[in-house]
Amino acid sequence: MAPARSVYQRDTNRAEKSRAVRKTGDRSVSADVLVQQLINGITLGGLYALIALGYTLVYGIMLMINFAHSEMFMSGGYVGLFVLKALTNESLVGVGTVAFFKGSSIGLIILFAMVFLSAAIVVGLLGVVIERFAYRPLRHAPRLAPLISAIGVSIFLQNAVLLWVDSKALPFPSVMPVVTVIDAGGVTVNSLQILILVTTLLLLAVLDTFVSKTRIGKAMRATSQDREAAGLMGIDINQVIALAFFIGPALGGIAGVFHGMYYGSVKFDMGFLPGIKSFTAAVIGGIGNLRGAMLGGFVLGILESLAAGFLSAGYKDVVAFAILILVLIFRPGGLLGESVVEKV
């Protein structure tokens, strides 16, 4: 277990570092580095924000940290990879279809839509199943019980992938050509970064509207305020919770596919660090608050990239954990959250 995790860390560290070093050569060109790290940070922040939405949604309704959410993210990467491989396998879907997917831009868009949709749906359903079997029996148990159960689910899923899929990192094929869109004096933005950012913002807008405007969204808000009272008003609590456990993991799954594309590989333990960091993002923004999760994701992503660029890539995880601890100590309600009063 141990060496595997540090390999993952090294992978991402190297990616960050090489990006920083390539752009700068030496560190005196700090304005460019700053802007480039900001751009990298915003991309990373978009990924964190997508995952953080899942944490915050589940926490808002269930008041529990879904520790297994990082594995939802990981599963998303794998599901995306398998669907992508299946759809571009000529013996499976036919030569013509693959040519269509790869040849035209419409085909490419359809291919990616299918990859993302299938990752979202499969992982969402996985989330629902996990809720049904691991968390629902514990709804009236002491607070620690669901958390321990969630850790169990997380370990189980990680090792299921390790044993039944692969223990090594699988390369994620770059079907979409990643083109540099903006190149201004050493600062570059590529199409994937823009895609991640746009998708994240779009999904947040949709989710925000869904929760604040629709009938089901109202039911979710009611459930998060007072589960029992909401039940008495005729809301099907189980359905609402299941829905939260579908949407959250689905978003995490999408983030997993993006992560695979961005870093070029998926691995069984890829969820651990992004998971913890996204939880940090959710806490920074104020857990239970959707827009807060988004804000927290970007804040954390940017801070982490700056730390990687200006301090040392080895310490960027320490920065994230230190921020988590500081926020919890000094502003446990988060930036946009309300302070929670302990109920007796």
> Using CA atoms, how far apart are residues 230 and 228, in angstroms rounded to an integer?
5
CB contact set of 140 (below 8 Å; sequence gap of 6+): none
**Stretch in the footprint of another protein (CB under 8 A) among 35-43, 146-154, 202-210, 294-302:** 146-154
* Contact string (CB under 8 A) for another protein, positions 306-325, x = contact: ------x-xx-xx--xx-xx
Asked if 153 is part of the footprint of another protein (rule: CB under 8 A), the reply reads yes
Q: Which is nearer to another protein, 65 or 79 (CB)?
A: 65
Token readout for 71 is 């594995």
Task: Tell me the residue type at 2.
Answer: A
* Contact string (CB under 8 A) for another protein, positions 203-242, x = contact: ----------------------------------------
Whole-angstrom CA distances from 195 to 54, 210, 267 are: 20, 22, 22
Number of H helices, E strands in the chain: 14, 4
Closest distance to another protein from the beta carbon of 316 (Å):
10
Pure H helices in 168-289:
191-213, 215-225, 227-232, 237-263, 272-285
Asked if 266 is part of the footprint of another protein (rule: CB under 8 A), the reply reads no
Asked if 134 is part of the footprint of another protein (rule: CB under 8 A), the reply reads yes
At residue 301's C-alpha, the angle toward residues 249 and 169, to 5°, is 60
Q: Of the candidates 7, 92, 129, 163, which one interacts with another protein according to CB under 8 A?
A: 163
End-to-end CA distance of the chain: 41
Asked if 8 is part of the footprint of another protein (rule: CB under 8 A), the reply reads no
Q: Which is nearer to another protein, 202 or 311 (CB)?
A: 311
Q: Of the candidates 146, 260, 271, 296, which one interacts with another protein according to CB under 8 A?
A: 146
What is residue 182's three-state secondary structure? strand
Binding site for another protein (CB under 8 A): 1-3, 5-6, 64-65, 133-134, 137-138, 141-149, 151-160, 162-163, 272, 276, 279-280, 283, 312, 314-315, 317-318, 321-322, 324-325, 328-329, 332, 342-344
